[in-house]
Amino acid sequence: MFIKQLYTGCLSEAAYYIESEGEVAIIDPLRDTDEYLHMAKERNAAIKYIFETHFHADFVSGHLDLSAQTGAPIIFGPQAETGFPAHISKDGEIFKLGKISLEVLHTPGHTLESSCYLLRDEQDKPHAIFTGDTLFVGDVGRPDLSSGNMSSEALAGIMYETLQNKIIPLADDVLVYPAHGAGSSCGKNMGPETFSTIGEQKLNNYALQPQSKEAFIKAVTSGLATAPKYFAINANINKHGYESLKEVKQKGLTALSLSAFKKLMQEDVWVLDTRHATVFTQGFIPGSIFIGLEGRFAEWAGTILPFDKPMMLITEPGKEEETVIRLSRVGFAQLQGFLKGGYDAWVKSGETTDLIIDIEADELAMDIPHDPNLLVLDVRRITEYADGHVKQAVNLPVDEMTDLVKLAQFDDSQNLYVHCAGGYRSVIAASLLKRQGLHNLRNVLGGWNKIKEQATIEIIKESAVLN
């Protein structure tokens, strides 16, 4: 028996490769399937099953492409309804894999079709459980992402029964392999580890402690941040299907001449620049949006960019394919290509450029007392802002900056000083402001991490929000 967790940090997502006697099962594959195929080939094994724990909302799964490439069936748990051929399993159904087996445990709560897969070893002893978004390290899946006509409270009540009847009775030494780790928006309190045991979770996971159903529902449904806007889109794609990654790559990896690029810019095509933040601010194509590959790129792309508009890319040389693949992981398919030669080609042709002025936090500290038109724009989350912010700073989280009504509160009579926690989100925000014609702005390097070190800047908290 061989088990390998394949963890993708930028999405906080875990897929699994399981093998016995040359037969392989893949659980919750990513959109780009080469790693699973290469591993099976290197180990002289064949992929027999593709298991999905539920309809993922935070990424597009590779189930369709992997099935097409291997002939392996796609398996969902009970109550799943798909727009493509799939095996809808029964609760308790057993799938043999070499000398081991995987048992379906229908575990609704995160979603109605959510299911876990209990791996039994060569002696038929429960060895590990692949919990999807039902059980995380330190948390459980949020019940407000895909509940159909049910309230999050009703679905949380179902989750309570699931945990009591399906998870807690398992032996303490059973390994827990979840679909996500810390940083994912699919939960609210995940620990830093990417696997655990049932025993450890019974001791340390708030959701598995002895408590009434009412107390559990309150604990699970309180304090949930707003779900990213693209979650519903991705869940729908995973449920109904998508075009192959090969086709998306063929379009997205088209090298566009400068003239072709400029022509498409006149046709309501978005320009996405994925270079590093400190490089982007020094010069970029006017109107382009920054989302750098160095951050949680796919999540921010899904949050900021429209899915119904065509898109062109500006990347560092050699980063074109990585950019296309990472965009495809969250469902972007209308990619038109990238500018051949990148930003340098634009500059060398003498085209107009734009830039964002970077300043250090100490310059902000010096400017605050002397500039009546200065406005600090804090683009962190509401809870981050509440935990400490510059006095009189305006809070507009980046994920709300696609709302043009909210952007209309700013104008170029204000001297905008934009910051986030460390400097990544603020550049996204500055590019969005620039795209709307707001150019009198500065990006504070190092963000809040540097601002809070300035002794002369008055800091306040919003206790009502924190409590």
pLDDT at 10: 85
**174 close to 129: Cβ distance less than 8 angstroms:** yes
pLDDT at 98: 98
Residues forming a β-bridge with 76? 88
The torsion defined by the Cα of 249, 239, 175 and 224, in degrees rounded to 10, comes to: 100
Tell me how far CA of residue 433 lies from CA of 21, 289, 371, 377, in angstroms.
57, 10, 21, 11
Neighbours of 400 (CB within 10 A): 15
Residue range 438-467: average pLDDT?
A: 90
In this predicted model, which residue has the larger pLDDT, 118 or 412? Answer: 118
- For the four alpha carbons of 454, 457, 463 and 465, in that order, the dihedral sign comes to negative
Q: Which DSSP state fits 167?
A: I
- DSSP letters along 82-141, please? -SS--EEPPTT-EEEETTEEEEEEE-TTSBTT-EEEEEE-TTS-EEEEEEETTEETTEE-
pLDDT at 467: 57
Right CATH for 243-348 from 3.40.50.970, 3.40.50.2300, 3.40.50.300, 3.40.250.10: 3.40.250.10
Residue that is written with structure tokens 């994912």 in the block: 184
- Residue 302: is its pLDDT beyond 60? yes
Tokens at residue 120, please?
A: 């039994």
Residue limits of CATH 3.40.250.10 in the chain: 243-348, 357-466
Q: Which residues contact 93 (CB under 8 A, 6 or more apart)?
A: 103, 104
- Residue 195: is its pLDDT beyond 70? yes
- Residue 403: is its pLDDT beyond 60? yes
Right CATH for 357-466 from 3.40.50.720, 3.40.250.10, 3.40.50.300, 3.30.750.24: 3.40.250.10
Residue range 6-15: average pLDDT?
A: 92
Structure confidence by residue, pLDDT tens digits, 37-93: 999 999 999 999 999 999 999 999 999 999 999 999 999 999 999 999 999 999 999
Helical packing angle, 245-252 and 320-328, nearest 10°: 140
- Residue 225: is its pLDDT beyond 90? no
Tokens at residue 76, please?
A: 């969902």
CATH architecture type of domain 2-232: 4-Layer Sandwich (3.60)
Residue limits of CATH 3.60.15.10 in the chain: 2-232
Q: What is the Cα–Cα distance from 16 to 27, expressed in whole angstroms? A: 5
pTM: 0.92
pLDDT at 119: 98
Structure confidence by residue, pLDDT tens digits, 126-154: 999 999 999 999 999 999 886 567 888 99
Residue range 260-274: average pLDDT?
A: 95
Return phi, psi of residue 345, to 5°. -65, -40
Structure confidence by residue, pLDDT tens digits, 370-390: 999 999 999 999 999 999 999
